[in-house]
Amino acid sequence: MRILLVEDDVSLSRFVDKGLKEAGHYVEVTDNGKHALTLCMTEQFDVAIVDRMLPGLDGLSLVKALRAAQIATPVLFLTSLGGVDDRVEGLEAGGDDYLTKPFAFSELLARVTALSRRSVTISNQAKPELSYGDLTLNMFEHSASRQGKVLDLQPKEFRILELFLRHPGRVITRTMLLEHVWDIHFDPQTSVVETHISRLRNKLEKPFGDTLIQTVRGAGYKLEHRGETNR
């Protein structure tokens, strides 16, 4: 199970992270609400565990933003705000369950498991292949091909293409690429993104005479097929 843990208490975060991983789950950890929103917009998780009081973007606002974006990832609020009104507020914001601190880890694990079972979201992570038109990415073999021809991609290029294939037609910002591909959470003021996009385009488009990665001025890029090369 892929779990997103959004918690700014370092010691608690480490405790929960360790316990979930020991239970056999993959865990992505962040202590910032804005970063959590970016992660949910660019990756798919089976469950998100969210604290309510967070820097950048509070838990309630984070979940409201997810639901407004039609992201249905089940959310378990894990917070010290345990009043009836607090719980109601969390559930009305779009949360699926609510657990107050302090808590027993066994109960947390049981609730997370129950949420994942109730979820109707089918994770792209479980698919051996991602495809868009005549373009295919094999996640198990870590290979890419177009029209049956193998594409010689570098690791970063593969990660960029994976992100596009998971969200075809959606605008992928420069910030999203920096965080997803390079794990950089600030603007390094370099052309690293543009350079890698250019190299990927040369391999993905030039031999086939068309355009797949579109530049969206002032926003970023998106995967969308066009018959004629026009950048």
Is 180's pLDDT higher than 90? no
CA distance 80 to 165: 39
Nearest to 1, CA basis, from 28, 38, 37, 33 = 28
Distance CA 86, CA 152 (A): 52
pLDDT in the model for residue 9: 93
Cβ burial 189-221 (10 Å sphere, 16+ → b, else e): eeebbeebbeebbebbbeeeeebbbbeeeeebb
Q: Residues 36, 3: contact at Cβ < 8 Å? A: no
Task: Specify the range with the lowest mean pLDDT, choosing from 4-8, 117-121, 163-167.
Answer: 117-121
Mean pLDDT of 210-221: 90
Q: 124 pLDDT exceeds 60?
A: no
Beta strand extents in the chain (DSSP E only): 2-6, 26-30, 47-50, 75-79, 97-100, 129-132, 135-138, 143-146, 149-151, 211-216, 220-226
The pLDDT score that the predictor gives to residue 79 is 93
Residues 130 and 9: their CA atoms lie apart, in Å, by: 36
Domains and CATH numbers, the chain: 2-124 (3.40.50.2300), 128-226 (1.10.10.10)
List, for residues 128-170, the tens digit of each pLDDT value.
788 999 999 998 788 999 999 999 999 899 989 998 998 888 8
Check pLDDT > 80 for residue 119: no
| Whether the predicted model's global pTM rises above the 0.85 cut | no
**In whole angstroms, what is the distance from residue 112 CA to residue 47 CA?**
7
Query: Do the beta carbons of residue 181 and residue 157 sit within 8 Å?
Result: no
Comparison of pLDDT for 115 and 51, the residue scoring more: 51
Nearest to 100 by CA among 83, 88, 85: 83
Query: How many other C-beta atoms lie within 10 A of the C-beta of residue 65?
Result: 19
Could you tell me which residue, 47 or 126, shows the higher pLDDT?
A: 47
